[in-house]
Amino acid sequence: ETKVWKIDPMRIDAHQNDINRAAELLKQQEVVAFPTETVYGLGADATSEQAVRRIFEAKGRPSDNPLIVHVAQPEQVHQLVTEIPEMAKKLMEAFMPGPLTLVMDSSGAAAPNVTAGLSTVAVRIPDHPVALALLEACEVPLAAPSANRSGRPSPTTADHVYQDLNGRIAGLIDGGATGVGLESTVVDCTSEIPIILRPGGITRQQMEEAVGTTMMDPALASHQEAPKSPGMKYTHYAPEAPLWLIDGDDQFFKDQLYTIEQDGSRVGIIASNELAEQLPGQRVLACGSRANLKEIAVHLYSALREFKKADVDVILCEAFPEEDYGEAIMNRLQKAAVKKINQF
């Protein structure tokens, strides 16, 4: 049984006892899920190989995928790395605490399985009162991937974590829904120019205002094309039913929908408010206005979890412009999709 604590992030002081109990479990090498401003994380003492092993076991995560180390204070970042490059200092000043993760050369303070044997370590300071209180209370840095079963959409509520991990983890702090809804931006700071390894809660544009030029990891481009064969097994952000990404105007979307429905398929739809309004009588989840991609990001993972295999045969999802938060949204949708249909 997983112990669950409900904590109001606005009244942290009233819950210090619960925070302390969760910290106690972490000190005993157990794993505890907790809210951050991006998604829920599954935390363990980052200096303990045994504790970190439990994260991989609980999630069913491949051990060659390194974890992010979370700390409360900038001074703790210093202890985890050999040195902080100039660009990283600027990024820390601008965005920490916040949804930004920096990859730097590891000092070796983190257990070897945190970094999956790499010479670098990924570090971030979450901007969430519960996460910060927990980090302060347990006094060690916490390795924490997203608190979902490997391959599932990341959890943005404690309920999502419970669905995936109940009985597999010692504790879960329920601090309500997360704010950003997508994971942190991961930036490699070991070269001349910051390289964005994973688009996320801090946009490329925001970063460039702080440090000038940045680069997208060329490997990201290879994910641009979702495989064309449906049924191909996907292991990222996957909803229960196969997801098809529809890239075109509203009429194109409706044409695809009606074609698919003709053979009797039950279709679930994830769309902007603007498109949803044109689809009365459909099973549609509206995620927010097209004019506000940030809002779409907040609701995306919930939507991916919402449609159940028993109710729909296929999920059609609207594609969004790859700018601003759309860069992160489309990165996740490309990975979640088994098929992409382009109008142009």
* Residue from 156, 184, 272, 331 in contact with ligand TXA (CB under 6 A): 184
Residue 101 binding partner per list ligand TXA, Mg ion, none, with a CB distance cut-off of 5 to 8 Å that depends on partner kind: ligand TXA
**Residue with Cβ nearer ligand TXA (197 or 220):** 197
* Residue from 19, 22, 38, 189 in contact with ligand TXA (CB under 6 A): 38
User: Given the structure tokens 């391959």, which residue do they identify?
Assistant: 151
Near ligand TXA in 125-144, by CB under 6 A: 126, 144
**Residue with Cβ nearer Mg ion (74 or 179):** 179
Of 31-39, 155-163, 164-172, 331-339, which part binds ligand TXA (CB under 6 A)? 31-39
The site string for ligand TXA over 264-303 (x = CB under 6 A, - otherwise) reads ----------------------------------------
CB 62: neighbour CB atoms within 10 A?
A: 10
**Is 145 one of the binding residues for ligand TXA (CB under 6 A)?**
yes
Spatial separation of the C-alpha atoms in residues 156 and 36, rounded to whole Å = 9
Q: Is 191 exposed, middle or buried (0-12, 13-18, 19+ CB in 10 A)?
A: exposed
**Is 175 one of the binding residues for ligand TXA (CB under 6 A)?**
no
**Is 68 one of the binding residues for ligand TXA (CB under 6 A)?**
yes
Beta bridge pairs of residue 215: 195
User: Given the structure tokens 């990201």, which residue do they identify?
Assistant: 220
Spatial separation of the C-alpha atoms in residues 339 and 247, rounded to whole Å = 11
* Both structure tokens of 123: 């570090």
Question: How far from 149 is each of 9, 75, 104, 123, 261, CA to CA, in Å?
Answer: 25, 32, 27, 22, 31
Peptide bond between residue 97 and the one before it cis (omega within 30 degrees of 0): yes
Residue 235 makes CB contacts below 8 A (sequence gap 6+) with: 150, 151
**Residue with Cβ nearer ligand TXA (36 or 113):** 36
Please, what is the minimum distance in Å from the beta carbon of residue 76 to ligand TXA? 15
Please, what is the minimum distance in Å from the beta carbon of residue 289 to ligand TXA? 24
* Residue from 19, 26, 121, 158 in contact with ligand TXA (CB under 6 A): 121
**Is 173 one of the binding residues for ligand TXA (CB under 6 A)?**
no
For residue 102, give the 3-state DSSP assignment: strand
**Residue with Cβ nearer ligand TXA (160 or 198):** 198
Please, what is the minimum distance in Å from the beta carbon of residue 117 to ligand TXA? 10
Residue 149 makes CB contacts below 8 A (sequence gap 6+) with: 59, 60, 164, 165
**Is 203 one of the binding residues for ligand TXA (CB under 6 A)?**
no
Spatial separation of the C-alpha atoms in residues 165 and 208, rounded to whole Å = 38
How many residues sit close enough to ligand TXA to count as binding (CB under 6 A)?
Answer: 25
Spatial separation of the C-alpha atoms in residues 36 and 126, rounded to whole Å = 6
Spatial separation of the C-alpha atoms in residues 313 and 261, rounded to whole Å = 10
Binding residues for ligand TXA, rule: CB under 6 A, are 36, 38-39, 41, 65-68, 99, 101, 103, 115, 118, 120-122, 126, 144-146, 183-184, 186, 197-198
